[in-house]
Amino acid sequence: MELNDIYTEIITEHSTSTRNRRHLEQASVSLAGKNPSCGDEIELELLIDHGRIMDASFTGTGCAISLASASMMIDLIKGKSLSEAKSLAELFTAMIQRKITNDQDLEPLEEAAALKSISNLPARVKCAAMPWHTLETAVETSNA
Ligand SMILES: [Zn+2]
């Protein structure tokens, strides 16, 4: 199996998974993210306790890339502190903008590193980055 096939499989699995697509009953922060150029619209919900993300979810619609990216992000940030989540979002953004390309440096992103190849598809970069931008804003909002 080619590496690209594995990536495609991970993206497909996440974009169709409903595990992270639900409403949080007691969300501390709820924030909308949009990518008008593609029509992706998600609502990110975080349950934060003592500066830690205890639970996270999203609802909304979008293309496979945006949904997969949101789902991978939620898997990754659950249980993390707000500052950890923020630096992961910064790392993801640096990856998608090709500012960081070294696979070792991208290890903290776990499965989300599978979206690295999207950086070669300029039209889809915004789809992949949108959930992470939403997360950054949500973290800033809840820190205020
Ligand atoms: Zn999209």
Per-residue pLDDT tens over the stretch 84-126: 999 999 999 999 999 999 999 999 999 999 999 999 999 899 9
User: What integer pLDDT is reported at residue 74 of this predicted model?
Assistant: 98
Q: Is pLDDT of 42 > 90? A: yes
Protein residues with C-beta less than 5 angstroms from the ion ligand 1: 38, 40, 63, 66, 127
User: What integer pLDDT is reported at residue 6 of this predicted model?
Assistant: 79
Distance set, CA 9 to CA 15, 18, 51, 108, 123 (Å): 10, 16, 34, 20, 21
CA 10 to ligand 1 centroid distance, Å: 17
Q: Which long-range contacts (CB under 8 A, 24 or more apart) does 12-17 make?
A: 12/64, 12/68, 13/68, 14/67, 14/68, 14/69, 14/71, 14/72, 14/111, 15/64, 15/65, 15/67, 15/68, 15/71, 17/71
CA angle 66, 130, 68 (to 5 degrees): 25
Q: Is pLDDT of 7 > 90? A: no
Contact 133, 34 (CB under 8 A): no
Average pLDDT over residues 46-73: 97
Distance CA(93)–CA(85), nearest Å, equals 12
- Which CATH architecture best describes the domain 3-143? Alpha-Beta Complex (3.90)
CA 126 to ligand 1 centroid distance, Å: 7
E strand or H helix at 56: strand 52-61
Q: Is pLDDT of 70 > 70? A: yes
Q: What is the mean pLDDT of the chain?
A: 94
Q: Whole-prediction pTM value?
A: 0.94
Q: Is pLDDT of 2 > 70? A: no
